[in-house]
Structure 1
Amino acid sequence: MITPFAVATLTRRGLLTPGSPVRIAAQLNALRRWGFSLSGELRQAAARDPERVAIIDERRGEVTYGQLLGNAERLARALRGTTGVRAGDRIGLLCRNHAGMVEAMVAGTLLGADPVLINTGLSPAQLATVAEEQRLRILVHDTEFAEKALALPPGVERITEERAAELVATAPPGELRPPEQDGRTIVLTSGTTGTPKGARRRTPSGFGPLVSIIHRIPLHARDRIMISAPLFHTWGYAALQVSFALRATVVLQRRFEPAGCVALAAQHRVRGLFAVPVMVQRLLEVPPPRPNPLRIVAVSGSALPGGLATRFMDVYGDVLYNLYGSTEVSWASIATPRDLRAAPHTAGRPPHGTRLAILGPAGERMPPGHVGRIFVGNDMLFEGYTSGAGKESHDGLFATGDLGQVDHDGLVFVVGREDDMIISGGENVFPSEVENLLADLPQVREVAVIGVPDREYGQRLAAYLALHQGEALDADAVREYVRRYRARYCIPRDVYFVPYLPRNATGKVVVRELPRFR
């Protein structure tokens, strides 16, 4: 049953506009038969707007919704006929952002198989471990990863993007029916500290999850949306789901490059951009598009450092939306431009249908302004790790692994990961607090602050700073700046100047690699 709130939101975003009765009936029938999975959303979009451009791919050009669905169906039939893929099998996807990856994702769900979205930054050894732990039957991969794919254990069939195109072209005829068992998309955790874990994504049961997002982030039906966040990442995958539900035109770029992103946004009159924070930071290093078509820049995946939100909106206008969440809880809160103008470090407020609580050590609710563990509940909590493990929960809410607080106005603030907090000389110290402070220095391009062992105090802070080209700064000036604004125990004793910070493919700093940059 659709609630009045959902009806109002869907109407306001242009999803309940009149149209051909035949096509609307086909659209609703597609959702009834195939549900709200990625394949179901693609089917409903193709039923309503088959001639509309679904994807603009830098190599293929324009692909309509009808063509995209047709290609995915042919690939599914070919995988079923030539490789014997069945419901419950797992298909690994090691691809960058392009139409072929989307077709492979959809093909798997059409068969009831589980697509496993693999981080393109994994090493060969990590890829081999993931393939074994996730029991991959097939790996579909881009040509550039052919050498990496050689590390796969025996029994995992490799299908290059060229081979996938051949399968589409030579697919046998046949009919595809909704599988008896729905496939579950498996997203890997970021893996900055080791081999990533597989998290099973829940399939939406209705319009609720879509409504929660587009009520706070004002995307509209048939918008033009660029997805720069990797599609293998929770945020990129969610952007694709939302885009299909909106029957939007999706612009994809295999590799994010700021000048190229700006050029594509201008060329295709992109209204919405999905990115990770480091991409927004890079966009400030190139001239913005003129005129600027962007009305929504939605980011997620890691915290917004320092005053990045304000600096970006000063250039692009008040268009920035920041979603705080995780692979396991999907979303927890969304900050609007108004929220970010008022408090640039805020994670915003929980959207409609989401519960968020700050809990103390004994599970008690913490009052406003007090730091505790963040727990979240919504319709899209993950279904557990593929290993069989779950996530700590309390009263139906899942732990995010972060510490935070809610102020008296209801704004959420994340102060850091639970396992990032250090105790220095008996004082609790949050590295992110110092990180945000240093990020505001005009000379600093990017910064990471971590805890390291200390014989006298137990732990201390170490700061790694990459400066803008032509800028200069010394360690004493950094320490003096922190001393001016923070307590003595927040001052980083170790200050290293590095050319850049090591990041994974989703833009997160890989902490274990920082020491080699000294």
Structure 2
Amino acid sequence: MHQHGIGVWMAKRRLKSPDKVALVHGEGSTLTYAQLADATDRVAAVLRDQGVGKGDAVAYLGENSPEFLQVMFGAAQLGAVFVPVNTRLAAPEIAHVLDDSGARVLIHDPEFAPRVAAAVPAARTPHVVVTGDGDADRPGLARLARTAATDAAGPVATDHGDPAAIVYTSGTTGRAKGAVLTHGNLTWVAINCVVDYDVVSTDVALMISPLFHVASLGMGALPVILKGATMVLEKGFEPGRALAQIERHGVTMLSGVPTTYQLMADHPSWTSTDLSTLAKLTCGGSAVPPRILNAYEARGLSFSQGYGMTEASPGATSLPPHMTRAKQGSVGLPHFFTEVRITDVSGEPAPTGSVGEIEIAGPNVFPGYHGLPEATADAFTPDGWFRSGDLGYLDSDGYLHISGRLKDMIISGGENIYPAEIEQLLGELEGVTAAAVIGVPDERWGEVPWAIVTVRDGAAVDVEAVRAYLDGRLARYKLPKNVIIVDELPRTASGKVRKADLRARFGV
């Protein structure tokens, strides 16, 4: 078998661009591609010493750091399967990920030790290693790597069809499912990004979103490494620091969700920060509200927006910046090597402009859920398209518009109401900073829409103001019957609103 997996990426980067800065982390520390590749070889040796071989799962629980990438690529060199763990998970959720994936090794940052201690006994993970030096009794990854003997034989042979990662879905309903992503999936999503976002070797990407989320990994880190560009790794997001890092490092690429961009535009340093190097802004999670577009366009910046999900590694479509206004509300065209179609309730292709289920195909689409053959079978059509569970339509130019989740669709008096349509308009209402629309049981209509919103301090937003704003923009049966103001909306790591939480709280 030839070596076609991501396990050779570090060696190839060491050969092609050894002295190029690969990572900037902490307070300005750097690693060249040669240094990153050498460190990855040593981490692979540590994992091998822990008994890791082809097909074994290696879990990682930690913030953005060089070690995250070293463990991922080190596992890939052994033909092992990388399992990034969401740092927001509670101990029982961590235990589920470890147990379900069968992780042989868990590597974690020291600050997560209490949760790990509570999770691992239930998860039966044989080896637990902390990042850093650890101590004499429990040597950490860095200490172990310094004395590990690297394997002169090189990476284990893998093919594009072999599993490279198991990424657990956010688990908005029931327990999280592990989406198996192959070496081919991760390769092709990176290629899609290089093509559609014009990633080049001179780019400097600021990574403010967690790498454990597949969007940051598959559409951020991987295309940057594929092109030999530079990443500035941040452990978390703070708007003032993000602005300072853009100016300090000449950042050219930035990815985030609408809230990320809003917080940066609202920061006191916004107008004084030099943003002249920024050229590529991508936004996912939800549509970019006009107020954010206006703020960035005033600084000469525009967005690429897109749509995707874990099962697509995650990119499915992208809307280029020059079409942001012309196709406002759309999430764009399918990525270059990806296909999207809309089907009706009978599974037949839906007419242009008709709402139906969004289905996705391409080499970036996963083969299935780990250990769940029935869920995998249910996720695909007989002819092999992934059923997203999302509703949308294609306009006459082939651009995709999202209408919402199948399970989120509201049926009121026999009429279908798509929350995304209402949410997009609410995002344009002065004073509203974020909005989610859910269906609430109603004796007369079956269900009626309620709007859950966050607002700026002092904003006069209530049900009358919302209904008055939307009246004439939407059919009256779509107008929210109630408006509830909250401090923040519950979100997944990718920034998507957890509507199941809202329905549980407000679905009276």
TM-score (norm. length: structure 1)? 0.88
Say if 2:41 and 2:150, in contact at 8 Å, map to a contact too: no
Check 1:488–1:352 CA distance in 2 against 1; reply closer, same or farther (3 A cut): same
Return the match for 1:327 from 310, 316, 327. 310
Higher mean alpha-carbon deviation, 233-242 vs 176-185, is at: 176-185
Shift of the alpha carbon at 1:59? 5.2
Match of 1:275 in 2: 256
In structure 2, C-alpha distance between the alignment counterparts of 1:205 and 1:140, rounded to whole Å? 24
RMSD across aligned positions (CA): 2.2
Give the drift of 1:252.
0.8
Aligned match of 2:31 in 48, 52, 63?
A: 63
Is the 2:286–2:496 Cα contact (8 Å) retained in structure 1? no
Write the distance in 2 (CA, Å) between the matches of 1:271 and 1:385: 35
Specify the SS of the correspondent of 1:126. Answer: helix
Supply the distance in 1 between the matched residues of 2:275 and 2:451 (Cα, whole angstroms): 39
**Deviation of 1:346 (Å):** 0.6
Quote the Cα distance in structure 2 between the aligned partners of 1:165 and 1:261.
Answer: 28
Distance 2:186 2:213 in 1: 22
After superposition, where does 1:318-397 map in structure 2 within 5 Å? 318-329=301-312, 330-389=314-373, 390=376, 391-397=379-385
TM-score where L is the length of structure 2: 0.90
Task: Tell me if 1:119 matches 2:96.
Answer: no
Distance 1:457 1:516, change over 3 A: closer
**Equivalent AA in structure 1 for residue 63 of structure 2:** R
Find 2:221's aligned residue among 240, 249, 256.
240
In structure 1, what is the Cα distance between the partners aligned to 2:291 and 2:387?
A: 27
Paired with 2:35 and 2:27, the residues of 1 have a C-alpha distance of: 15
Secondary structure in 1 matching 2:298: helix
| Deviation for aligned residue 1:209 | 4.8
Partners of 2:83 and 2:433 in 1: CA distance? 34
Q: Which residue pairs with 2:131 in the alignment?
A: 161
| Cα distance in 1, alignment partners of residues 317 and 188 from structure 2 | 15
Determine the C-alpha separation between the residues in 1 that align with 2:324 and 2:113: 43
Task: Please say if residues 36 and 205 of structure 1, whose CA atoms lie closer than 8 Å, have aligned partners that are also in contact.
Answer: no
CA–CA separation in structure 1 for the residues paired with 2:117 and 2:168 = 20
Task: Give the match for residue 67 of structure 2.
Answer: 100
> Structure 2: which amino acid aligns with 1:35?
H
* SS of equivalent residue, structure 2 residue 311: coil
Aligned residues of 1:461 and 1:493 also touching (Cα < 8 A) = yes
Letter in 2 for 1:441: L
- Which position in structure 2 is the counterpart of 1:303? 286
Deviation larger for 45-54 or 289-298: 289-298
Give the equivalent residue in structure 1 for 2:195.
Answer: 215
Secondary structure of the residue aligned to 1:349 is: strand
| 2:449 maps to which of 450, 461, 464 | 461
Paired position in structure 1 for 2:152: 175
Identity %: 32
Report the alpha carbon displacement of residue 126 of structure 1 after superposing the two structures with TM: 1.1
In structure 2, give the amino acid aligned to 1:233: H
Q: What is the rounded CA distance, in whole Å, between the counterparts of 1:41 and 1:356 in structure 2?
A: 29
Distance 1:224 1:305 in 2: 23
Q: SS state of the match for residue 322, structure 2?
A: helix
Instruction: Provide the C-alpha distance between the structure 2 equivalents of 1:356 and 1:513, rounded to a whole number of angstroms.
Output: 29
Contact 1:109 1:183 survives alignment (8 Å): no
Deviates more, 1:388-397 or 1:324-333: 388-397
Could you say what secondary structure the match of 1:256 adopts? coil
* Secondary structure in structure 1 of the residue aligned to 2:345: coil
The amino acid across from 2:265 in the alignment is: L
Q: CA deviation at 1:188?
A: 1.3
Structure 2 counterpart of 1:260: 241
- 1:437 positional shift: 1.1
The equivalent of 2:136 in structure 1 is: none
2:115 matched to 1:148? yes
1:478 aligns with 2:462: no
Bigger shift: residues 505-514 or 332-341: 505-514
1:77 to 25, 29, 45: 45
Residues 1:367 and 1:516: Cα distance change in structure 2 (over 3 Å): closer
- Identify if the C-alpha distance between structure 1 residues 119 and 134 changes in structure 2 by more than 3 Å, giving closer, same or farther: same
Aligned length: 484
Cα deviation for residue 183 of structure 1 reads 5.0
Give the corresponding residue for 1:7.
none
CA contact (8 A) 2:438 2:503 kept: no
Shifted more, 291-300 versus 210-219: the winner is 210-219
| Secondary structure of the structure 2 residue equivalent to 1:86 | coil
1:424-459 superposed Cα distances (whole Å, 9 cap, x missing partner): 111101111111111111101111111122222221
Aligned to 2:206: 226
CA spacing shift, 1:91–1:208, aligned 2, 3 Å? closer
Q: Distance in 1 between matches of 2:263 and 2:381?
A: 37
Give the aligned partner of residue 495 of structure 2. Answer: 507
What is residue 18 of structure 2 aligned with on the other side?
Answer: 50
Q: Gaps spanning 5+ residues in structure 1: where?
A: 1-31
Q: Which is worse superposed, 328-337 or 274-283?
A: 274-283
Distance 1:306 1:60, change over 3 A: closer
Aligned AA for 1:322?
Q
Distance 1:310 1:458 in 2: 37
What SS does the aligned partner of 1:137 have? strand
Residue matched to 2:438: 450
How big is the shift at 1:404?
A: 0.8
Q: Is the 8 A contact 2:338 2:364 kept in 1?
A: no
2:164 counterpart SS class: coil
- Structure 2 gaps of 5+ residues are 133-139
Structure 1 residue 94, shift from structure 2 partner: 1.2
Q: State the Cα deviation string for residues 168-225 of structure 1 (Å, max 9, x = none).
A: 2222354242224555211111223343211111213897654432222122123111
Cα deviation, 1:284-336, whole Å, max 9, x if unaligned, reads: 22215324311001223x22154256335423434311121111123221101
> What SS does the aligned partner of 1:369 have?
coil
d(CA) in 1 for partners of 2:409, 2:486: 23
CA gap of 1:365–1:68, structure 2 versus 1, over 3 A, is: same
User: Given the superposition, is the C-alpha separation of residues 435 and 475 from structure 1 closer, same or farther in structure 2, using an over 3 Å criterion?
Assistant: same
The aligned amino acid for 2:356 is: G
